[in-house]
Amino acid sequence: MSEFRKLDDIGDVKGKVVLLRVDLNLPMQDGAVTDLTRAQAVAPTILELADAGAKVLLLAHFGRPKGERNSTMSLSMIQGALADVLGREVMFVPEVTGDVVKQAIGILPDGGIALLENTRFWKGEEANDPEFAKAIAENGDIYVNDAFSAAHRAHASTEGLAHLLPAYAGRSMQKELEALQKALGTPEKPVAAVVGGAKVSSKLDVLEHLVTRVDHLIIGGGMANTFLAARGVDVGKSLCEHELTSTVEKIMDAADAAGCTVHLPYDVVVSKEFAENPASLRICNVHEVAADEMILDIGPQAVEALADVLKTCRTLVWNGPLGAFETRPFDEATVSLAKTAAALSKEGSLISVAGGGDTVSALNHAGVAKDFTYISTAGGAFLEWMEGKELPGVVALYI
């Protein structure tokens, strides 16, 4: 692929109407926004365009209204929170097409910001209906996409519009694409990937793609149990997908063929019950797990060996925790390895890119999120990128 178009390529936007796709799917409780991360991520793009004199019209989805108006999913609910983050007035427009939007543009001064209604109130959005996209485009001069988290969906506001107006990546999208390019596009080698989480079945495509792209694949979480079982290890009562043995063997064969080393734990933290600091907690070799025990984390010796692996690498991609990190002390392996990765990133010897909801929580829990090179808050889009899939909303921004 050639280069994608960025804000620097736009030129003068004064008086122009910019249709800016953002992710404002903010979590709410009792009518109040509980986390402003997504709004803060897109604020630099909104303010840069507004300060350059553009009339900025924000397009976003909120929840899953399935093509019907639903007052509990109106973007008017987050108008105040967004205005607070931006430190600017935000006009709310209850439509995304037609005369109401046209009138709003007439009232909006250069540099003004308007939030249009939830794009998913219209069936044409998720269907990527060309007529719906055309109706939105009629009120704009330029299209900017700053919602990487929605880029894996070919919807009217994420993909269709990009073919109807001059299309550019916003600053958040640009940062994401540049970080991902460094991590798996043209990475500095050797490359390591940490893939954790409960089930192999949910990350089959990720694993199959990664073994052809990385030098070291570190498997953690419940997934490691399935790999160990495929290797003939008795994992006791551990979470394990025994029916995937042949699939795991294929992945291991593909890794061998590609020269990728798959790292599985050789010591583990086990317990008879899944609870905080259980009495039955012990550390043992993987071959010593009793029939009534569960593997709930990677052991300290394995973590030390993995830390040594990271010290030989230049690039790291991380998705998923190594153990049941929400419950102490089964967070220790994740916290320990995350601290190693963060320290190596801070000293400049490792480019570290992490993504996925559980991963972000785990790195925040370890207190190291700020030291990773880049953390993606996109769930589905980040996973699809790790699977090697083309993301429609991204492809449309390339020259």
Amino acid identity at 388: G
Q: Is 326 annotated as a binding residue?
A: yes
Q: Is 328 annotated as a binding residue?
A: no
Q: Is 72 annotated as a binding residue?
A: no
Active-site residue flag, 370 = no
Q: Is 153 annotated as a binding residue?
A: yes
Q: Is 393 annotated as a binding residue?
A: no
Q: Which of 199, 237, 250, 272 is catalytic?
A: 199
φ, ψ of residue 398 in degrees (nearest 5): -85, 145
Q: Is 24 annotated as a binding residue?
A: yes
Amino acid identity at 288: E
Q: Which of 231, 357, 370, 389 is catalytic?
A: 357
* 3-class SS shares of the chain: helix, strand, coil, % to 5: 45, 20, 40
How many of the other CB atoms lie within 10 Å of CB of 126?
19
Q: Is 209 annotated as a binding residue?
A: no
Give the pair of three-digit tokens for residue 365. Answer: 């829990």
Q: Is 178 annotated as a binding residue?
A: no
Are the C-beta atoms of residues 283 and 268 closer than 8 Å to each other? Answer: yes
User: Dihedral angle at the C-alpha atoms of 318, 322, 327, 329, nearest 10 degrees?
Assistant: -120
d(CA 143, CA 35): 27
Give the pair of three-digit tokens for residue 14. Answer: 């004064």
Q: Is 62 annotated as a binding residue?
A: yes
Active-site residue flag, 231 = no
Active-site residue flag, 367 = no
Q: Is 69 annotated as a binding residue?
A: no
Q: Which of 53, 379, 380, 388 is catalytic?
A: 380
Give the pair of three-digit tokens for residue 281. Answer: 């907690």
Q: Which of 5, 38, 55, 213 is catalytic?
A: 38
Q: Is 234 annotated as a binding residue?
A: no
Cα 135 to Cα 75, 153, 303: the distances in Å are: 20, 19, 55
Strand partners, 17: 55
Q: Is 357 annotated as a binding residue?
A: yes
Active-site residue flag, 69 = no
Residues constituting the chain: 399
Q: Is 319 annotated as a binding residue?
A: no
Give the pair of three-digit tokens for residue 167. Answer: 């299309």
Catalytic residue ranges: 38, 199, 357, 380
Q: Which residues are annotated as a binding site for ATP?
A: 203, 326, 356-359
Q: Which residues are annotated as a binding site for substrate?
A: 23-25, 38, 61-64, 120, 153
Q: Which residues are annotated as a binding site for (2R)-3-phosphoglycerate?
A: 38, 120, 153
Q: Which residues are annotated as a binding site?
A: 23-25, 38, 61-64, 120, 153, 203, 326, 356-359
